[in-house]
Chain A
Amino acid sequence: MSVELDVFVGNTTIMDKEVYQLWLNGYTVNDAVKVRIEGGVMEECEASAEVLLSDTMDQYRTFQMCERLLHHPAKLANQLLFQIPPDRQAMLIERYALACQFNSLDFVIIQFQTFICISLFRYYAFDDLFVREVLGKKLSKGTKKDLDDVSIKTGITLKSCRRQFDNFKRVFKVVEELKGPLVENIRQHFLLPDQLARDYAAIVFFANHRFETGKKKLQYLTFQDFAFCAGQLINNWTVGAVDNMMEDMDVDLDKEFLQDLKDLKILITDKDLLDQHKNLVCTALRGKTNVFNEMEANFKNLSRGLVNIAAKLINAKDVRDFFIDLVEKFIEPCRSDKLTSIDVNLYLTHYTNSAHILDTFKHHAVWTRYMGVIKSCILRMYHD
């Protein structure tokens, strides 16, 4: 004796936020039921476990049906299969409008799609813990196969891991081919709010350049640290950063710029220039910090580190090591000298500015463009 078939379909689609979250987190129906029972929904509504199971299965089915649409969010604007509860719309419109500063979409579309868009955000939301594991990895089948390890390591269900991974991959595939600003593309194609779109841009960017993020030395960095750095790189070092032509690609670094970076080597290869630079920096720093001696002693070392990173960036392989290099060549020495982040800021500011005063140094534009990003990345990464 068993229930062979059990469905509930409303004219307006009923979606339980709580169950939705459980589904997103990859809970099986039975586990979700357990969580709900513990949540006390049964006592609230005089329901039995049986009822809860039926409801959960129903909700899961609804989400699965939604999933197809969620994969192509642009279609959501005029899909007919789900009707959103009209009474919730008014409330949701406001939240939605706040959440994603949408101007381009017709008001009406927003009105009818808010509910689903909210679901969409959730669907595309990810765990920082998880993304940290796959950040910079190739979004390939191989990586996907390793997700069970990630799942064990992070305690996130495999199902949820897979969904998140597939989301990354889907977004990557779509924007890879697109021209124009990366974040904007993601926002338009996946109807995601600004912050989430930026995060996805970072993920795509990292995956594209395969930045190494998994090394032990980098473990202390959070996804948000990397996302910030990615934002810096996207905004300053890509082709799209300099001129906003339609042809621009936001995903790739500006090859010309990378080529020019090689010219910075003069700062460390030319002995005079190096000494001159050191003197200028030291003069500016003297008396302003109590770690002056360490800074002075380490100047050449640090400068070499930063310029070498710049010079190497033309090689794709070295691009991957960008972050590990920053840590090894700059952050770690500074840290062992017990510099505070204020010290680092001070140091980098003067280091950058002093170079402009050097007589024989001609690459001011490239230097500014390089050091701007380096400085903000290092400052962001300079924590425990």
Chain B
Amino acid sequence: MPGKLKAKIVAGRHLPVMDRASDLTDAFVEVKFGNTTFKTDVYPKSLNPQWNSEWFKFEVDDEDLQDEPLQITVLDHDTYSANDAIGKVYIDIDPLLCSEAATVISGWLPIYDTIHGIRGEINVLVKVDLFNDLNRFRQSSCGVKFFCTTSIPRCYRAVMVHGFVEELVVNEDPEYQWIDRIRTPRASNEARQRLIFLMSGELQRKIGLKVLEMGGNAVVGYLQCFDLEGESGLVVRAIGTACTLEKISTFPATATHPNNSSPSKDMKEPGFGEEAPGVPLSSGPPTPLRAQTFSSFSPSKSYSRQSSSSDTELSLTPKTGMGSGGSAGKEAGPLKALLRQQTQSALEQREYPFFTLTAFPPGFLLHVGGVVSARSVKLLDRIHNPALGNTRSYKLLDWNSFTADEPETRDAWWEEIRQEIKSHAKALGCHAVVGYSESTSICEEVCILSASGTAAVLSSRFMQDGPLDTEHRLSRQPLCVFSTGSERVEGDMGSSASLGFEEVVSPGCGFCHIPYDELNIPFPAQLTYCYCCRRYKVPDVLFTTIDLPTEANVTGKGCLIQARLCRTKKKAQGEGNATAISSLLPFLEYELHTQLMNKLKLRGMNALFGLRIQISVGETMLLGLASATGVYLTALPSPGGIQIAGKTPSDITYEQHISTMQKKINDTIDKNKELYEINPPEVVEEIIGSPIPEPRQRSRLFRSHSESSDEVSELDLSHGKKDAFVLEIDDTDAVEDIHALLTDSPTPAGFYSCNTEIMPGIQNWTSAIQMFTSVRVFRLNANLTNQGLNKIFSDLCENLLKSLYFKLRSMVPCCLCHLNFTVAIPEDELIQVAVTAVAMSFDKEQPLENGKQSGEKTLIKAITENDEQLQFNLELNAETSSHNPLSSPKGLSEVGSHLSARASSLEKASPLPEGRSRSLRSNRSYSGSSVAVVKMTPLSFIPGAKIIKYLGIINMFFIRETSSLREEGGVSGFLHTFIAEVFAMVRAHVAALGGNAVVSYSMKECVFMENPNKNQAQCLINVSGDAVIFVRESELESTSVQTQSATTHTSNGGEGT
């Protein structure tokens, strides 16, 4: 089905001088899409041309619309010689293809040249008319929404989570084509940029098709990566989680009883009333409004209710339940039957039960088994790419045969790895893998493929009768995540209870309970009873790749923990090299793990979140960097200390040495405990003797064999907490370990750091955020020992962190969130470390509370947006109950009118009397002004603000090259400028979409190559994120103040019960 793309070139500014004689430029513009090109008139002798062109119209297939970027080239007209190109702008028009995203691209975009960088700006207008609206979703993947965010986006709710989608496309790298020998670097760079744009578009379209096939309408946690395989080609691959999302429509929800008051209270209580979650919390009027409640509650809202009971929020619906307009009560009846059917059909389907999400609606995640990872070393042999062989010279390749052949290989490689992950997860008694990600490291023809995730048990009560270890457990069934809260309020409780579905696990510790059979533990672990509920077994430590669940009970604050390792390797070729690497890998991983464990204990913590292990391969070494955020989970036992033991206590000095070290370690642990405010309640110990669980109403667990854990009394609970971690230092390795342990310098006062989204124990963020990227390249001396290398690498990372703290000292107290380290070995003897993170300052004022409460607060803070929405809807309804929400067309206008209704009823000079629609507009005009501020953050939210619209995915790829490196300030000057330019271009494109922020921003690739002797350097950067519109909470002041206070109040009330 075709569409019409329209573009208009308005003006240019700050153009470079192209004619030395006149110091001016005769600029004109070529607008190209697919094979069609339009040109503007030449605007003579000006650096600020005003073209004001007509609308250039392209009539194209929507497939092309998805694949191709709009390419705008600015040129300098030259009567006698060839026209000189000034630069280009690629515009991804994908955001315009989705009705819920942006509607127009309009604004000043930097004109970019791969040799000169940004050369002025151009003002353009781009629109798309898609014909045949009704049919749109049937025939192409236009309209499938993509999100980089690894949680359910803030203004959506998940109707269903379908599961894993993946795809990869392969092409020859233009840099390695024969033609590259004769064309200019500029032409080669541009060919590459364009190709990657095309491939990304194609990839996205193909993934979109898969999503539609699954019945979804969105991809969440979309992760796209490039493998620059050099001679053997270019792979663009992506993974994501297919979902059915529904925009949180902000209809009036339900008439709340004035006395029963705020809905947050209603929702608060069921979580705490464990025995009877369905207590008549809401005496709201029945029937017709129930249906509405349904669609009006956001799933994310209940993130803030840390106490919500898991079971009630998740339930399964048949695919037809997508619309989920029916009330929960109605659906609950046929549910069970339907589930059965689905289980059957699921058996026949084969799919990876993987989720790229790292944060989940409450109750979705039931238990976490631990980290699962798989790696494999492959040779990028040309044999795999016959089309790329000798035939490559002198004739264009037959892409069809090429692509038909090639992806099979890469697909097969990944399939292998995914299978392994799946089986690992199974060994942990888990049927799903969450926080899943894939990565590669390439050096010459060797490629390490890695995948990791967290084995988990997800809420899937429909499987209750099935054996746990069924391979097909979760396979392909859509999991329906009902919108939260409302059902509970409205009596879904009752129905689920009648089905015997509910499994009441305290959400604060539930995910820590082991999913595997304790008699058949796949690895040595010490199990104890959960320190929170005393009913289920928990491991002594927990490693995961996901974010800290919002409902988790945490004691104290968290901190970034890194294990760094460097191992030399002999130079080798081909298979020998691959074998050498394969044999080194397990040791590397083992040592990283040990380091992590030691550092975790040193900080007195017992769990790691957001674990990311990166292994990078070079000619003569392997680098391993593991980053994670350590926390003290209240549910897990307190970690024992670290005990050093010498195996041969021969002489006294040696013993002394050991004892001083031991003392140092103990001191550090104590200091850290104080620093991170880890003081687990002592009460726990008293209870240990009498771990008698309260009698439970519900006897059936959804996992059959975990029933055994009900037999509490048989276990000796105390054994797990005493034992210390023993480090034997009879070998150099251990000495080195201890050294590494003690050399990690503490973060300066006022700073905290983590690599996850939320820092436990810190709330009340201010609106001051600073996203940054820092890159360092370190040159090594030849002939270093492993130990020397380790020290250098570790220092490099430590110094980088120190520099960051110093740079950001004006933001104190502040937390560096989402610290994402990427290491690479760009050349022999070079180590490159790139960090992207966001510094967020917070108010210290807030009195410190215990972890549980503070965690809850964070959540409230982070997700207030939905609460607010929710709440004023509810209140509104009370006021304007005459509204029929179902008849109202779409969210925005609705909200607007409601808000205004409310505002007027409050008789307050609210800053948004005209409601949301108004604020949207004002936002537009804001960005239309000369330079609008665009915030960027790797997190999925912006503190103190509410995301009101997702405008589409930003996925940009740039190449910059120079042959005058010295003149541009050396390598640092070159890269500094380039990164600043990339930021500027991202901001400009977001502003052109009408946005004022990028969330879930990440720099996925930063490949830097230099040749100082030739005075040359080249850099490739790939960035991505979600363009959004946010509104400051202060702009919603009158409403938010009220709601927030209400929320806090009720949550405190809830705490008491």
Contact = CB atoms under 8 A, between A and B. Distances in A.
A113 B932 CA distance: 11
Interface centre among A51, A58, A106, A112 (most CB of B within 10 A): A51
A45 B806 contact: yes
Contacts of B802: 47-48, 51
A9 B14 contact: no
Contact of A2 (B773, B779, B975): B779
A361 interface: no
B803 A64 contact: no
Contacts of A109: 929-931
Interface in B829-860: 830, 832
B779 A108 contact: no
Interface string A140-153: 00000000000000
B976 A47 contact: no
A108 B926 CA distance: 9
B805 A45 contact: yes
B152 interface: no
A65 B977 contact: yes
Interface string B737-756: 00000000000110000000
Nearest to B977: A65
B981 A81 contact: yes
Interface residues of B, number: 57
Interface stretch (A10-18, A94-102, A260-268): A10-18
Interface in A104-132: 106, 108-109, 112-113
B348 to A, nearest CB: 49
Contacts of B832: 5
A65 B981 CA distance: 11
A83 interface: yes
A96 B54 CA distance: 41
Interface string A66-107: 000000000101111111111100000000000000000010
Interface in A318-335: none
Interface stretch (B486-494, B983-991, B1039-1047): B983-991
A9 B799 contact: no
Contacts of A6: 775-777, 803, 972
Interface in B942-987: 969, 971-973, 975-977, 979-981, 983-984, 987
Contacts of A10: 770-772, 807
Contact of A54 (B13, B767, B803, B930): B803
A2 B971 CA distance: 13
B780 interface: yes
A83 B934 contact: yes
B772 A11 contact: yes
Contacts of B979: 7, 9
B969 A61 contact: yes
Given A47-B806, A52-B806, A57-B972, A81 B770 contact: no
A7 B972 contact: yes
Contacts of A112: 930-933
A133 interface: no
A256 interface: no
Interface residues of A, number: 46
Given A3-B776, A6-B776, A45-B809, A55 B803 contact: yes
Contact of B780 (A1, A45, A48, A80): A1
A1 B770 CA distance: 31
A50 B14 contact: no
Given A11-B770, A51-B802, A108 B929 contact: yes
A220 interface: no
Interface in B767-809: 767-768, 770-781, 792, 799, 802-807, 809
Interface string A24-65: 000000000000000000001111101110110110011011
Given A9-B983, A51-B806, A112-B930, A46 B108 contact: no
Contact of B13 (A1, A14, A78): A78
Interface in B981-1026: 981, 983-984, 987-988, 1008
B936 interface: yes
Contacts of B57: none
B118 interface: yes
B14 A75 contact: yes
A51 B799 contact: yes
B623 to A, nearest CB: 16
Given A3-B776, A7-B975, A64-B969, A80 B931 contact: yes
A81 B984 contact: yes
A169 B768 CA distance: 40
Interface centre among A57, A64, A81 (most CB of B within 10 A): A81
A82 B803 contact: no
Given A64-B969, A65-B980, A80 B121 contact: yes
B935 interface: yes
Contacts of A45: 748, 805-806, 809
B770 A14 contact: yes
Interface string B371-385: 000000000000000
A87 B799 contact: no
A1 B776 CA distance: 13
B806 A12 contact: no
Contact of A3 (B748, B771, B777): B777
B361 interface: no
B958 to A, nearest CB: 14
Contacts of B981: 81
A62 B983 CA distance: 14
Interface string B909-947: 000000000000000000001111111100000000000
B930 A11 contact: no
B110 interface: yes
Given A46-B748, A55-B806, A108 B778 contact: no
A77 B48 CA distance: 14
Contacts of B767: 87
Contacts of B775: 5-7
A243 interface: no
A95 B807 CA distance: 25
B774 A7 contact: yes
Contact of A79 (B830, B931, B971, B1008): B931
Contacts of B930: 77-78, 106, 108-109, 112
A57 B775 CA distance: 14
B931 A9 contact: no
Nearest to A12: B770
Contacts of A9: 772-774, 976, 979-980, 983
A5 B807 contact: no
B975 A5 contact: yes
A109 B928 CA distance: 12
Contact of B792 (A1, A48, A52, A61): A1
A14 B807 contact: yes
Nearest to A9: B979
Contacts of B1008: 5
A48 B806 CA distance: 9
Interface centre among A5, A9, A83 (most CB of B within 10 A): A5
Interface centre among A51, A80, A87 (most CB of B within 10 A): A80
B830 A4 contact: yes
Contacts of B936: 11
Nearest to A83: B933
A-B pairs with lowest CB-CB distance, top 5: A5-B777, A78-B930, A9-B979, A10-B772, A11-B771
5 contacts: A9-B772, A51-B802, A80-B121, A80-B931, A83-B983
Given A4-B971, A10-B807, A58-B976, 11 more contacts: A1-B781, A11-B772, A44-B809, A45-B806, A50-B799, A51-B803, A61-B973, A61-B976, A78-B931, A81-B984, A106-B930
Interface of A: 1-12, 14, 44-48, 50-52, 54-55, 57-58, 61-62, 64-65, 75, 77-87, 106, 108-109, 112-113
Interface of B: 13-14, 108, 110, 118, 121, 748-749, 767-768, 770-781, 792, 799, 802-807, 809-810, 830, 832, 929-936, 969, 971-973, 975-977, 979-981, 983-984, 987-988, 1008
